[in-house]
Structure 1
Amino acid sequence: MGMNERPALVIIGGGMAGQRLLEALVAKGFQARTGLRIVLIGAEPAVGYNRILLSPLLAGEVERDALWGRPAEWYRAEGIELHRGDPVVAIDRSRRRLTTASGAGVNYHRLVIATGSRTRRVRVLGDAREGVSEFRTLGDVDALLEDDLVDLPVCVVGAGLLGLEAAEGLRQRGARVTVVHRGAWPMNRQLDAEGGRQLAARLASRGLAFELERTLAEMRADRGGRLQALKLDDGRWLEAQRLIHAAGIEANFELGRDAGLECGQGICVDDRLVSSDPLIHALGECCEHRGATFGLVEPIWAQVEVLAAVLCGEPGCFEPLPSATRLKISGIALYAFGDPCPCAGDRWLRYFDPGSGDYRALCLNGGVIRAGNLINDTRLGPAWYHHFLARTPVEPGDDWLFDAASIARPSQHQDPIEEIA
């Protein structure tokens, strides 16, 4: 990795946030406007792939080629210096110099840290040298696809978005999957209790097994260090030859912390995505803004637009908005937003059709929408979400659960149930 006399904007991280920023900078003519060249350094051998498609790739629903965005020729044509598979290990702020794992040095004029996140691993007693992995990168998925998964007993820890998508992908590959989750229902941070039960029932009918309100206590391996079984906190043992950690994420902020940047749960940034060093920005899952970190695409795309403007000398201010959540599992449509945890003054409107599997739940509080869940037919989701963001004054009424133009009114035995928490 040779040095170039022309000063550089260096982006550390070749994931979706770093790639999106590249695209935005190219569209704005950044290099011509600033005189800075662009260097992208990625820790993984592959850069710019669509991580959202890892679940469909594992399930066999898309081909590997579907993950790729720009070819190598695009980077060369745009004058972007690309380095892959050689992560940055140190930032020397006084010299404005980076050191990579291979020992190469790169100088920067401006720096963007977009190192993403990693899977949060739960602590389990015991030691298995084989069979324990994560579901986060293309390398993780490739390792799973190299296995013969048919009839393989697999345990996935975590029934959030990541865990459920990993579990269903493994099931579609033939594995016998048990999902262990400390919550009382899947996606308990996005769904109300009834919605969580409906989702669990739908997934269980496909063959997924659930151990809810449970944690792992111990693992057992054979003499060769290969995982054989997992013990639950109630003392029962589960057969498991693979353990997949998918219980949330943690920001990869250590690079910034070790360089002396202000950090909390991530690298702290202001509204312009500037860290405590005015020459260094942080973007995406590795950053912390006003005490919050980010794991969904929408707020990170908003960060990209702000940072691209700021780097080009334009005004920009990041104002995060609540995001809607969509589950990426074939045959199951889900749309959720807001906080489903009970709150004083909540009034829930709910509707369930056992024939179609449609579930709709809308939480009103203080005359506005506070949360919404839809499973199966999600067409009302964007409209609900729009009113949620706008804090539109609403009156409680069954009409909010139905789109008269396209959805038939329910029969008497399917009347919506209004509940007050």
Structure 2
Amino acid sequence: MKYVIVGNGVASVGAIEGIRRADPDGEILVISEESTPTYGRPLISYLLAGKIGPERMPLRPITFYDKFKVKMALGSKVVSLDAKAKTVSTDDGNTHPYDKLLLATGGVPFVPPLPGKDGSGVYSFTTLANAETLVDVAKNCKTAVVVGGGLIGLKAAEALHDRGVKVSIVELAPRVLSAAFDDKAGGLVAKRLAEVGIDVHCGTQATEIKRDESGTIVGVHLKDGSFLPAQAVVIAIGVVPAAALAKDAGIKVDRGVVVDERLASSDPAVFAAGDVAQAKDLILDDNRVVPIWPNAFNQGFYAGKNMAGADSPYLGGLAMNSIAFYGLPTVSVGIVNPAPGEAGIELSETLDEENATYRKLVFKDGKLVGYVLVGDIDNAGLYTGFIRFKFPLDADTKAKLVSGCPSILQWPEGFFDEKFNPVGAQEIV
């Protein structure tokens, strides 16, 4: 059996380990546009901030590939997929046959048609190479504007600030982290960023990157009439699934590559995992793109096992974020911004601005379906358990969750025996 994996992020690592669970001897080839072995992508902000060195970046030791009998083609870009011939072609002129193919191509930065974006001084922040470039930029840069107040933008801003750069964040939404937070949680984070000297401009947008006659960036114009001086601009609005290979090959693509519970696409020989995959969401019980690390690894792992002939359904992922901003920890899981007036929804919110703590719980039809914690996150794991296992809540249990006192003792009697020790139990990763 010949396995080809396109991409070398965390989903690829999961797939390698999954394949080897079911097939110890099949050929595995990983093709990656990046020139380095797999690394911890969330760590690039820490590298840019100077908090860690390059030696901390690898996700697995270099011996991993030899141990799992994996061949590598680094610095090689797949330019086409022929699903009928079962081959992929790369920009170096090579063609690689496969029996099973995994698309783990991740996402590509979204860059809006912003006047002035073309030319030097404009950067993305999604790869190790991006971080290494910004390390050099920060040595001679005094001011920067980050366009985008999502997770990538905030971590880029934080890292540049730690390098001594004066940073301003511009976010179109009324708050930072608009997808993962509500106004109250976003407000606490923005306040903490402002306290350390990072300017946050929400509810407006960049309209032009201003350059002088020599083409050098001098600042950014905003829709509200403001002008922010800058020597560099980081565009971090978000990423979109890198699904062009699949789409061009006639494989079903919606927002991402649409996959079934085995992570197989509309072509049974082609699988997808990670930020490119539109896979099952545990809460919504529908397929959507959820671009976070734990989901990417798990999808890769299950895809790998199924590529190798196992029948191991992926049970679904959760939207979740856990990050700290200058000592302010935050966690967001599940549905945190339900549609106004949505049937069956109940909200519980507890805000303490003085102590920078916030707890929001979202209930639907008698179950916990989402939460946000800021400041005090000690009970995050317990709340997540109630969501993941979809426990029905009686009045007493719900009251304890609302009061901030969840407990494993509130889980249904016999749950552990039923969930973890049944006959023929699935492996849980």
What range describes the TM-score normalised by the shorter chain of this pair?
0.7 to 0.9
In 2, Cα distance between the equivalents of 1:25 and 1:181? 42
Deviations 1:24-74 (A, max 9, x none): 323x15243xxx311111110012111011111112222211111334443
Which of residues 396, 400, 403 in structure 2 aligns to 1:401?
Answer: 403
Residue 15 to residue 73, structure 1, CA distance change in 2 (3 Å): same
Residue identity opposite 1:401 in structure 2? S
Q: 1:221 and 1:168, CA in 2 relative to 1: closer, same or farther beyond 3 A? A: same
**Superposed CA offset, 1:132-156 (max 9, x none):** 1101000000000012357621111
Query: For 1:97 and 1:366, how far apart are their aligned partners in 2?
Result: 48
For 1:22, the equivalent position in structure 2 comes to 16
Give the letter aligned to residue 30 of structure 1.
D
* Change in 2 beyond 3 A, CA 1:398/1:202: farther
Structure 2 counterpart of 1:51: 41
Matched residue type, 2:9: G
Query: CA 1:324–1:77 in 2, change beyond 3 Å: closer, same or farther?
Result: closer
Deviation for aligned residue 1:205: 0.6
Q: 2:294 aligns with which of 291, 298, 313?
A: 298
3-state SS in 2 of match to 1:187:
coil
Partners of 2:387 and 2:66 lie apart in 1 by 44
The Cα of 1:214 is off from its aligned counterpart by 0.7
Number of aligned residue pairs? 395
How far is 1:302 from its partner? 2.6
Does residue 315 (structure 1) correspond to residue 295 (structure 2)? The answer is no
Structure 2 CA distance for partners of 1:350 and 1:398, relative to 1, 3 Å: farther
Unpaired stretches in structure 1, ≥5 consecutive residues: 1-6, 406-421
Q: CA deviation at 1:363?
A: 3.3
Alpha-carbon contact 1:31-1:37 (below 8 Å) kept: no
Is 1:392–2:382 an aligned residue pair? no
- Correspondent of 2:337 among 340, 344, 348: 340
Q: Within 5 A, what are the aligned runs for 1:17-416?
A: 17-26=11-20, 28=21, 30-32=23-25, 36-149=26-139, 152-289=142-279, 291-337=287-333, 338-341=335-338, 343-344=340-341, 346-389=345-388, 390-395=390-395, 397=399, 400-403=402-405
User: Structure 1 residues 219 and 391, CA, compared in 2 at 3 Å: closer, same or farther?
Assistant: same
TM-score, normalised relative to structure 1: 0.87
Alignment check: 8 A CA contact 1:13 1:42 kept: yes
Distance (whole Å) between structure 2 residues aligned to residue 404 and residue 272 of structure 1? 34
1:128 and 1:220 in contact (8 A); partners too: no
Q: CA deviation at 1:77?
A: 4.1
Aligned-partner Cα distance in 2 for 1:157–1:394: 45
Task: Return the letter of the residue paired with 1:206.
Answer: V
Bigger drift between 297-306 and 41-50 goes to 297-306
Going from structure 1 to structure 2, the CA distance change for 1:220 and 1:374 (only over 3 Å counts) comes to same
CA contact (8 A) 2:14 2:299 kept: no
- 1:355 & 1:214 partners in 2: Cα distance? 27
Structure-2-length-normalised TM-score:
0.85
Of the structure 1 ranges 96-105 and 219-228, higher mean CA displacement relative to structure 2 is found in 219-228
- Which sits farther off after the overlay, 316-325 or 262-271? 316-325
SS of aligned partner of 2:271: strand
Instruction: State how far apart, in whole Å, the 2-side matches of 1:229 and 1:110 are.
Output: 49
SS in 1 for 2:138: coil
Larger displacement relative to structure 2 (288-297 or 70-79): 70-79
Aligned-residue Cα RMSD (Å) equals 2.3
Residue identity in the other structure for 1:199:
V
1:364/1:398 CA distance change after superposition, 3 Å: same
1:303 aligned counterpart, secondary structure: helix
Deviations 1:178-237 (A, max 9, x none): 111111111122222212111111111111111101111112112332221211112322
Q: Distance in 2 between matches of 1:43 and 1:216?
A: 31
Is contact 2:109-2:126 (8 Å) kept? yes
Per-residue CA deviations over 1:80-103 (Å, capped at 9, x if unaligned) read: 111100111112233322211111
More displaced, 339-348 or 101-110? 339-348
The alpha carbon displacement at 1:342 in A equals 5.3
CA change 1:128–1:305 in 2 (3 A) is closer
SS at match of 1:184: coil
Which residue identity lines up with residue 343 of structure 1 in the other structure?
P
Q: Which amino acid aligns with 2:86?
A: R
Residues 18, 321 of structure 1: alpha-carbon distance in 2 compared, 3 angstrom cutoff: closer
Read off the aligned partner of 2:402 and give its amino acid letter.
W
Task: Please give the secondary structure, in 1, of the residue aligned with 2:215.
Answer: coil
User: In 2, Cα distance between the equivalents of 1:102 and 1:16?
Assistant: 25
Cα distance in 2 between the residues matched to 1:312 and 1:112: 11
Give the match for residue 420 of structure 2: none
* Structure 1: distance between partners of 2:219 and 2:77: 35
Q: 1:81 to 1:328 in 2, by over 3 A?
A: farther
Match of 1:8 in 2: 2
Paired residue secondary structure (2:328)? coil
Aligned-pair CA distance for 1:168: 0.7
CA-CA distance at 1:347 after TM superposition? 4.4
SS, match of residue 316 in structure 1: coil
Q: Structure 2 CA distance, aligned partners of 1:321 and 1:257? A: 24
